[in-house]
Amino acid sequence: MPQQSALSRFRPSPVELLCLIAGVLLVWRFAWLMDDSYVYFRYVDNLVIREVGLVWNEGEFVEGFSSPFWAMLLVVLRRLHADFWMVVRVAGVLSFAVFWWLAVLVNRGLTSEGARGRLAFNLPLVYLSLCYGVLCYFTSGLESPLVLVSAGVFGCAVLWPERRSLQVVMGIAPLVRPELTVPFVLWLLIVSIRKRRLPVAAIVSAVVAVGGYLVFRVWYYADVFPNTFHLKDELWVVQGLQYLWDTLGPYRTLPFGIVLAALFAVLRRGQGHARTYGPERLTMLALALPVAAYVVKVGGAPIHFKDLAFPFALSMLAGGGLLEGVGARWEGWRRVAAVVLTLALGASVLTMHPRQLPRMPLRQHNAFGHKIVAMISDAAYHRAPAMGLVPGRGAGANALSYAFAERRYGGSREKAAVQTDSWCRTSYMRPSTLVVHSRGLTEPFLARTPVHSDRPAHKFGLEQLAEDIARVRRAQGFRAGAFDDALEAGKGEEWMRRNIESIRSIERRVYNEHGFFANLGMALSSPEVIEVEEPETGQVE
């Protein structure tokens, strides 16, 4: 393991300082909001401003978000009257700064002792801090900046597993994204075997944080998993592999990985295996692999890069310290040449862009030239002014400010007509309207209806079912027994009659009375499935 001094002697090199400056500027430049972020905003404002609970629809207890930690952070900041758009941008910049710091530490920890104290080239940081995909996901309004920071934390925890502060943060990681549970457990096993003792602080942190939230989830939502887990639980490997290539191809990730592997081979042959930190690098790659495999399994995401941010960043960090180790004895022109090559790498990465865009969008601030490739879009599509997701420049009391939301919520206490909607932003702008989300994100019945995906996370076959549910809601309300009453009145659909037992079970969850043991019984029961005939949609977005 690397010495502890790498954590205390923190002196970034000029190259690393340039990465910090460039990264901060580009994170702010590429700031955007994904439509799904408005799910968080509606949940948070329903709790903080409207005081009807952490819910999408008043009285309907469904956990329609994927990151409890991000939701709790937004709740705290919203109580301080923070503007969501400002929160997203500031959190992005601060998260990048933390990620940068962690990347520097990982590089020092993976640098052979004879090379420490010399100029740090830090090739992984140069690559990551100028990569369009990485920079975009320090914003988005989702938990993505926390995911990228988690990659840096995992890298440090591999190098310094005995640090209690790192162990505590590792224990919280599964609250950032459920998929991080697997690499966290794998890290626990590896550390326990290698160190021959349990990382107690990490286990205690996980029991308190993750266990505490799980108790809350059972008590409040009567489920073990969030609604999004049921919605995305499918097998679509072919699309997942396309998503993997859509992430790796545009940024020349494989050639860059080959270069790092070659440097590792040179370092190992020239200076001995003990100075290469091979086990630590292999552990980082092993922790990244299960998250990447899960993303491939479910078909990836509809947005370029997003769901592979963690494994992408952690895999690149595993290449830290290699050029420093190989060039430890370089002097004069060789050292200058290494600096020039490092800066050339940065300039090259700065020109790389996803296949969905005609060029790196440094000058354009819209979706000009954007196209969907392999059913995958890019952040630029959501960033475009015409989409209305990102507040315009110079906006004062915009729709994401606390004061604006308070005025809107205060004047809309009466429930409007029930509607279906696939856009989360329009649902957020109608706070008291009861919305059946037609893609199933926040809708418990649709999330448990296993129709095929037309695009990742886009099941157009659910839209007609959403209309059927909305008709029942308009007539019978949002309550347990509504579907039974609709069927008895002859206003239900045949698919409801065939699945009435599953519907009743879901209703008991969604309209639970927050009795813990009753909810625990429901949470531990077999998940309900609503079977319907596969519709032919042929719809493309």
pLDDT greater at residue 428 or residue 273: 428
What is the pLDDT averaged over residues 174-183? 97
The whole-number pLDDT of residue 348 equals 95
Report whether pLDDT(272) > 70. no
- Dump pLDDT digits (tens) for 71-101: 999 999 999 999 999 999 999 999 999 999 9
Q: Report the length, in residues, of the chain.
A: 541
Can you tell me the distance from the alpha carbon of 255 to that of 442, in angstroms, rounded to the nearest whole number? 41
| Residues 242-251 as b or e (16 or more Cβ within 10 Å = b) | bbbebbbebb
The whole-number pLDDT of residue 361 equals 85
pLDDT greater at residue 518 or residue 391: 518
Percent of the chain with pLDDT over 70: 92
The whole-number pLDDT of residue 540 equals 44
Contact between 314 and 154 (Cβ < 8 Å): yes
User: Which residues are within 8 A (CB) of 128 and not within 5 positions of it... i.e. 6 or more apart?
Assistant: 99, 103, 134, 313, 316, 317
What is the pLDDT averaged over residues 3-9? 52
Question: In this predicted structure, which of 239-243, 357-361, 434-438, 482-486 has the lowest mean pLDDT?
Answer: 357-361
Place of tokens 């710091």: 101
Confidence class for position 32, pLDDT limits 50, 70, 90? very high
The whole-number pLDDT of residue 273 equals 45
Virtual torsion, Cα 166, 172, 178, 183, nearest 10 deg = 20
The whole-number pLDDT of residue 386 equals 82
Q: What's the per-residue H, E or C state across 62-118?
A: CCCCCCHHHHHHHHHHHHCCCCHHHHHHHHHHHHHHHHHHHHHHHHHHCCCHHHCCC
The whole-number pLDDT of residue 274 equals 44
Percent of the chain with pLDDT over 90: 79
Contact between 490 and 496 (Cβ < 8 Å): no
Q: Return mean pLDDT, the chain.
A: 91
- Dump pLDDT digits (tens) for 35-45: 999 999 999 99
- Dump pLDDT digits (tens) for 407-418: 887 765 555 689
Question: In this predicted structure, which of 20-29, 92-101, 401-410, 430-439 has the lowest mean pLDDT?
Answer: 401-410
What is the pLDDT averaged over residues 436-442? 96
Contact between 156 and 102 (Cβ < 8 Å): yes
Report whether pLDDT(46) > 90. yes
Can you tell me the distance from the alpha carbon of 120 to that of 11, in angstroms, rounded to the nearest whole number? 10
pTM value is 0.95
- Dump pLDDT digits (tens) for 329-385: 777 777 788 888 888 999 999 999 999 999 888 865 555 689 999 999 999 999 888
Report whether pLDDT(234) > 70. yes
pLDDT greater at residue 456 or residue 185: 185
Contact between 29 and 407 (Cβ < 8 Å): no
Contact between 53 and 46 (Cβ < 8 Å): yes
Can you tell me the distance from the alpha carbon of 316 to that of 257, in angstroms, rounded to the nearest whole number? 8
Backbone conformation region of residue 407, classed left if phi is above 0, alpha if psi is from -120 to 50, else beta: alpha
**For the purposes of burial, counting CB atoms within 10 Å of the CB of 290, is it exposed (0-12), middle (13-18) or buried (19 or more)?**
middle
